């Protein structure tokens, strides 16, 4: 992963560039990075603040031989890789995952991933997994008061290239295990170990329903299992709901 590397000083969005490269036939494992982005995009249609010099903006192009409905699990695989890479670099196990794929340090978000796919019928053309990591950021805009960086957490700077290489190393390892079964069955223990929501009370906000329960961990499909007060265990699919701490 990442052997074919495309780097920009400045671009609109590494996800957009990775998709353009995919359309031109770029190979599986191509990694696109940029020092800054003018149109960085986050999940739920939000913008992703992308100033120069301090963060990682990277998009990994994959051509996986899996069914389109399984591709969303790749976002969780990248979340695990980023959390493990940060923990290795910080010599600590501070980084965890807030389901489904936000990486957090001391309760604040340090990384997010936006996965996009081109597919038809049962066939995936390509998947682009775009990840932003706040590395040496010292100050965030006021509205991002839930964001943090490696620098703000530890007081020291980190080499972005080293962190990118570690993310690729862990992603390659976990992707191999994901490919074997086309689900997360070989990865649930590792994921749940990183999951900061595990054994915590969470509030589940569905479009037409809201309840609290105990988060138990994820299943093989990456759904969060939440035990309601009456003992019933719900399987929550990431696309439909938002989960908050209570």
Q: In whole angstroms, what is the distance from residue 169 CA to residue 228 CA?
A: 38
DSSP 8-class letter at 232 = P
CB of 64 to ligand BTN, least distance (A): 18
Distances (CA, A) of 241 to 206, 207, 210, 214, 235: 5, 7, 10, 16, 11
Query: What's CA 116's distance to the chain center, in Å?
Result: 12
Compare residues 31 and 124 and give the one whose CB is closer to ligand BTN: 31
168, 205 in Cβ contact below 8 A?
Answer: no
Distances (CA, A) of 125 to 5, 197, 208: 20, 34, 34
Compare residues 19 and 188 and give the one whose CB is closer to ligand BTN: 19
Compare residues 115 and 213 and give the one whose CB is closer to ligand BTN: 115
Pairing state between β 5-8 and 102-105: unpaired
Compare residues 45 and 207 and give the one whose CB is closer to ligand BTN: 45
Which residues contact ligand BTN by CB under 6 A?
13-15, 37, 40-43, 46, 48, 57-59, 102, 112-114, 130-132
CB of 144 to ligand BTN, least distance (A): 11
CB of 112 to ligand BTN, least distance (A): 2
State whether the Cα torsion 203-192-173-159 is positive or negative. positive
CB of 186 to ligand BTN, least distance (A): 25
94, 87 in Cβ contact below 8 A?
Answer: yes
Compare residues 84 and 102 and give the one whose CB is closer to ligand BTN: 102
Compare residues 43 and 173 and give the one whose CB is closer to ligand BTN: 43
Residue nearest to ligand BTN (CB): 112
Residue 14 structure tokens: 């590494």
CB of 224 to ligand BTN, least distance (A): 17
CB of 60 to ligand BTN, least distance (A): 10
């Amino acid at each position: 992963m990442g052997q074919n590397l495309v780097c920009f000083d400045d671009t609109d969005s590494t996800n957009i560039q990775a998709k353009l490269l995919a359309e031109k036939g770029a190979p599986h494992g191509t990694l696109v990075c940029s020092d800054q982005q003018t149109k960085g995009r986050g999940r739920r249609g939000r913008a992703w603040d992308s100033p120069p010099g301090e963060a990682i903006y990277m998009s990994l192009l994959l051509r996986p031989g899996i069914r389109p409905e399984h591709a969303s699990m790749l976002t969780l695989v990248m979340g695990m890789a980023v959390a493990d890479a940060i923990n290795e670099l910080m010599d600590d196990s501070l980084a965890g995952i807030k389901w489904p794929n936000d990486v957090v340090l001391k309760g604040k978000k340090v990384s997010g991933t936006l996965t996009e796919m081109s597919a038809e019928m049962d066939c995936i053309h390509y998947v682009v997994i775009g990840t932003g990591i706040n590395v040496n950021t010292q100050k965030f805009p006021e509205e991002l008061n839930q964001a943090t960086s490696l620098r703000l957490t530890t007081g020291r700077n980190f080499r972005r290239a080293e962190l990118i290489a570690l993310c690729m190393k862990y992603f390659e390892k976990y992707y191999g295990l994901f490919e074997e079964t086309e689900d997360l069955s070989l990865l649930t223990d590792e994921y749940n170990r990183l999951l900061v929501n595990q054994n915590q009370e969470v509030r589940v906000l569905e479009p037409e329903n809201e309840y609290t329960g105990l988060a138990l961990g994820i299943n093989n499909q990456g759904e969060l299992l939440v035990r309601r007060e009456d003992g019933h265990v719900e399987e929550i699919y990431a696309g439909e709901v938002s989960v908050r701490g209570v």
